[in-house]
Amino acid sequence: MTRRTTALTTVAAVIAAVAVSVLSADTASTAARPETGAAQTPAEAEADVAPPAGTSPLSRTRGLFTDPQLPAARWVAAHPEDKRAATVRAAIGSQPMAHWFTGTSDADVGAAVANYTRSAEAAGQLPVLVAYNLPGRDACGAESAGGASDPANYQKWVSAFATAIGVRPALVILEPDALGDFSCMSKAQIATRLRLLNTATRMLAEKAPNTWTYIDAGHADWISPATMAKRLLSAGVARARGFAVNVSNYIGTTESRRYAERIEAALHRPAAYVIDTSRNGNGGNGQWCNPRGRKLGRHSTANPAALELWIANPGNSDGQCGIAPTIRAGVFSPALAQRLIAGK
């Protein structure tokens, strides 16, 4: 997952059932950017949108799930004699973080999601899942380009994803980059993307009633809060728990929280939000792809008043760039992990 250089926690509140605004031309912080899309009319929204059902996934679990199959833990298990293994295990491999489902890493997403959430349920812990498979994803950055082959396949994929969670408690981060990439997309592509995000939020609300879904809302150096609020409304945020900021980026928690609160104010309704703190211990430096000098951030917490999560997996490369020019996006590097641990 990558983030752009040019643009590139939580309040426990229930999203009220309200009409979704029609997406119109709006102005970003530096330039006017026309929007188009498949936002619902107020009448359609009133009939279709309801607050998420079910009980709080936090109240049904004891802390966040630590998955032994995530990249850092797998590397440690495969390299027990490596002198870096103990440090990587303690600082990263033993920490709860999100599991990314991308379409390519899980040929049968239903089985993969079911196995993951069952493992978390057996441990009495809360899993965090990232759904990252929209057609044409990462339209601007390209390091993590890919996704479903077409809208029909995405609809099947996200339906299987939501169905596999079922009634088990979970947190879902929905489609990183999806609402930040519009400058690299045509009007038709934007309209399709908004329609698919509405489909995803609807399916998760209906098929996974004990899941809190957060639509990705970019980061503080990318899209203006007012613009992002309009895009979130058009993507179906009224059916979700709220939105996520700083996913796979490095911007500090204070700045990210300020950005999230400005988005919430622009939504004109209560909204929960989460911040990705996985790699923001030293804040950002304006670069998004394996920048030098970054550091691990505060550990994930299941405190409903401060949902700060490790959504990115520390040590995974952002792409063949920065201080890891030969390591593909999503591949774990012990060298990158060590740099994040030391802040170098």
Q: Are 205 and 14 in contact (CB under 8 A)?
A: no
Separation CA 15–CA 319 (nearest Å):
36
Separation CA 17–CA 20 (nearest Å):
9
Burial class (CB in 10 A: 0-12, 13-18, 19+), 292: exposed
Q: Which residues of 120-158 are buried (b: 16+ CB within 10 A; e: fewer)?
A: bbeeebbbbbbbbbbbbbbbbbebbebbbeeeeebbebb
Catalytic residues: 177
- Residue 273's nearest CA partner among 217, 318, 193 is 217
Separation CA 147–CA 149 (nearest Å):
6
- Residue 342's nearest CA partner among 299, 292, 300, 289 is 292
Q: Are 252 and 36 in contact (CB under 8 A)?
A: no
What letter represents residue 6's amino acid? Answer: T
Instruction: Give Cβ neighbours of residue 271 (< 8 Å, ≥ 6 apart).
Output: 11, 13, 15, 237, 242, 243, 263, 264
Separation CA 320–CA 41 (nearest Å):
43
